[in-house]
Amino acid sequence: MVLATTLPKEISEALESPTFSLHIKGSAGTGKTTMALELVRYMNCSAIYLSTRVSPSRLYNQFPWSETCLHQENILDANTSLDLQTREETLFEYVDRPSFLKNLYSRVLEAKGEHLAIIADSVDYLKSNLRIPQEDLSVERDILDMAERVNANVIFISETCEESKLDYLVDGVVRLERDIVNERLIRKLYVEKIRRNKIENPMYLFTLKDGRFRCFENGLQINFIPRETKLEQKEGRKIPTLVPELDKILGGGFEKGSFNIFEIGENVGMAHFYIFSPIFFNIVLQGYPVFSIPSKSLFSTDVVKMVPTSDLNEKLVSTLGDDSLNRLKKCFHVFLTPENHPSPTETYNTHHLKGQNPKEDLNNFTELAKKVLEEVKAETLVVTMASDTMEYVYGTGDLLKIIQTWMEQIKKLNGVMVMFQFGHETLKLPTHLAKSYFKLENIGGNIVFFGEIPKTQIYVPSLNISERSIQTKLLSIE
């Protein structure tokens, strides 16, 4: 797991060099300008922004946050000044290449500080305005030479997706792509070149949500936040997950009496446990009993801790109040296979599925569930069930019928059933009976989450950790 970041590690590290040059390329709408502005914000330096497409006012209207990191006097209108009387804002006057270079160098010297960046957005239109053929790299070389003399970074933006001659001049090359997969938007960043540095991750997913560029590191991301979340049981037909994005999709949370499916794709691994455990942990802390039949790949100690690592577990448990700890001990129960025994020192509520008689196992669960509901004075419960464990215990013969029998009984208890289906299994759950159906998949090392019922956009999950809670967070790819 990694800490959240907004830029690819390869790029952020390379920008520590004051003369690093980068080529950002991609078709229209892929996020090149947004990324360039995010780079300026990250470098926290003086910047000369050569814009061939937008004026300072339009730039600030589109990216209000950029006003704090890019001063208006340094946004240079790089369109040729042919009719000065008809233009409201002309901050940078030139009519040919020599005057362009002379005026640019003058502005660079005026803006020069401890760290400076020069951004050309876009170099294609700039050369067109200067009436220079696209294959002629003289302007790019002049800007690079100028940057070398004053120890400045250079960022070139171009509208090409193909390999170009400019790629050989600069120190780094990234390509942005915007794809539609199964009617869902996905954005990818490819690191094609980093001179003198190793490319650890050649591909990143990213989002432009709220007009900000943010890429996602491979693996599950962790964000440390200062605020705390107050957990209270709410009346009504919904059990909140306390994941704002997911609750919005579900109309407030899991509907009581409903059947829900989370399908886990191949190569997701333990990430599914880390992402979903905080949801059920917080459901317990709201006062709802949770009964878990975990995946066969998990040990009982993993499940009862319900947090990703021992360090996080110690941090969370040390800050929980007595009331929360008592709720956890009373409301959380685990059903294990006969072979999966808890450690002798384990004090959590563990039970076993015997497997010989499915009806007997269900009756034992029902009696326990009614007893716990009465003890904690709750009117509903949540049951999480892993299909691989059910298949291991009962075989494949009547498994679908057994699962449907559990569904019926849990519905009678006014409970919520959440089934974890693993992509490599042959068993196909009855999705037509599901109130919600979500998928967790691995795309190039990035874990993504999306809904089939209801159909949603693609989200990248992370963990938000505060003083007294661990929350799952979903950030949409927009």
Of the CA atoms within 13 Å of residue 424, those in its CB half-sphere come to 5
* pLDDT at residue number 267: 87
**Range of the structural domain that residue 397 is part of:** 230-476
Q: Is residue 224 part of a domain?
A: no
Is residue 249 in some structural domain? Answer: yes
Q: Would you say residue 398 lies in a domain?
A: yes
CA atoms within 13 A on the CB side of 153: 28
Q: Number of folded domains in the chain? A: 2
H/E segment holding residue 216:
strand 214-216
Q: Counting runs of H as helices and runs of E as strands, what totals does the chain give?
A: 15, 23
Asked whether the beta carbons of 362 and 405 are under 8 A apart, the reply is: yes
What pLDDT does residue 127 have?
86
Q: Give residue 339's pLDDT.
A: 65
The pLDDT tens digits of the residues spanning 54-65 come to 777 888 888 998
Same domain, 141 and 257: no
Whether residues 129 and 256 share a domain: the answer is: no
Pairing of strands 184-194, 172-181: antiparallel
What does the pLDDT look like over 379-436, one tens digit per residue? 999 999 999 899 889 988 888 999 999 999 999 999 999 999 987 666 778 888 899 9
Are 414 and 452 members of one domain?
yes
Last residue of a domain, one of 174, 194, 218: 218
Examine the domain organization and report whether 364 and 445 are in the same domain: yes
Claim to verify: residue 254 and residue 209 sit in the same structural domain: no
- Same structural domain, 161 and 274: no
Length of the chain, please?
478
Alpha helices by DSSP H, 234-380: 244-249, 271-285, 300-305, 310-319, 322-331, 358-376
Task: Indicate whether 225 belongs to any domain.
Answer: no
> CA 129, 131, 136, 139 torsion: positive or negative?
negative
Within a 13 Å sphere around the CA of 451, how many CA atoms are in the beta-carbon half? 18
Same domain, yes or no: 322 and 467: yes
| pTM as predicted | 0.85
**How confident is the model at residue 113, as a pLDDT?**
66
The predicted pLDDT at position 154 comes to: 96
Looking at the structure, tell me whether residues 176 and 254 fall in a common domain.
no
Q: Do 160 and 248 belong to one domain?
A: no
96 domain-assigned: yes
Q: What is the pLDDT of residue 96?
A: 76
Indicate the residue among 198, 218, 238 that finishes a domain.
218
Q: For the chain (length 478 residues), average pLDDT per consecutive 10?
A: 65 88 95 93 88 80 88 78 43 71 85 82 86 90 93 94 94 96 93 90 94 87 62 72 94 96 90 88 89 75 44 49 68 79 58 88 95 92 93 88 94 96 76 93 91 96 76 92
* CATH code of residue 150: 3.40.50.300
Please indicate, yes or no, whether residues 208 and 243 belong to a single structural domain of this protein.
Answer: no
Q: Which residues contact 84 (CB under 8 A, 6 or more apart)?
A: 90, 93
Are 262 and 149 members of one domain?
A: no
Judgement on whether residues 39 and 160 belong to the same structural domain of the protein: yes
- Which of 177, 197, 218 is where one domain is finished? 218
Tokens standing for 358? 């499915």
For residue 112, tell me if it sits in a domain.
yes
pLDDT of residue 315: 47
d(CA 18, CA 124): 24
- Inside any domain, residue 274: yes
Structure-block tokens of residue 34: 């947004």
Per-residue confidence (pLDDT) for residue 310, from 0 to 100:
41
pLDDT at 83: 42
Which residue do the tokens 């003058």 mark? 106
Residue 174 lies in a domain: yes
Instruction: Give the pLDDT confidence score for residue 204 in this predicted structure.
Output: 94
Give dist(CA 239, CA 250) in Å, integer.
10
Closest CA to 441 of 465, 455, 424, 454: 424
